[in-house]
Amino acid sequence: MLAVCGGKGGCGKTTTTLGLLRELARQGPVLAVDADRDMPDLAPLAGVPLAPTLGDLDDGTGIRDLARPLPDRPTGAVVPAAPGDDREDLRRVLRRAAASGGPTLVDCPAGAGPAAVTPVRVADRALVVTTTAPPSLRDAAKTASLARAVGTPVAGAVLTGADEVHDGIRRLLGTRVTPVPRALDPVAAPEVRRARRRLVDRLW
């Protein structure tokens, strides 16, 4: 399980999650879970129904029963978040997702509160997403430190809206950083897809 995380909202976590989902789905079944209850944007961005959600998981339901396949790539599927609904035990839900077989991505909430820490703690690895803006970079460094503090290795970082990565950013984040260029279509543009394929090759 890979937690796609970052300290700032709007840094590109959801777009990165969807891009990785689409690239990995070329290789076989892959699941993306939206754990961001405050801004549950993964399902609408992916073009899948907003229900059922994580809140519908019970003992008689498998996590993949809730997953909605991508319209044009059904080997990739999304489990929508339950907006404003904290009834489900997120840690239990994510562990069930991880045990379902195949790669699992988690679109994490922004910040460093309990809702953001839980998916990072459960995941096997963390991928930190940031823009080039100094506040976003500082928050990304805090997110990377948080992941390491809870025992989750940082597998890498994504620098959105960038064509290159300066050494200072690598030192700040303490991991390998993949630049993803700015594009009108941040999911399907050829230059963005090439960058995400490089990221997939590094992570898997």
d(CA 185, CA 88): 34
pTM of this prediction? 0.95
Domains of the chain from N-terminus onward:
2-203 (3.40.50.300)
Residues 6+ apart with CB under 8 A from 182: 160, 161, 162
Reported as a single tens digit per residue, the pLDDT across 68-106 is 999 999 999 999 997 765 645 788 888 888 888 789 999
pLDDT in tens, 7-66: 888 999 999 999 999 999 999 999 999 999 889 999 999 999 999 988 888 777 788 889
d(CA 33, CA 98): 10
Contact 181, 161 (CB under 8 A): yes
CA dihedral 186, 189, 194, 200 (to 10 degrees): 40
Q: Which residue reads 């991508």 in tokens?
A: 70
Token reading at 191: 């230059």
| Mean pLDDT computed over every residue of the chain | 92
Span between the terminal Cα atoms of the chain, in Å: 11
Which residue, chain included where needed, has tokens 């989750």?
152
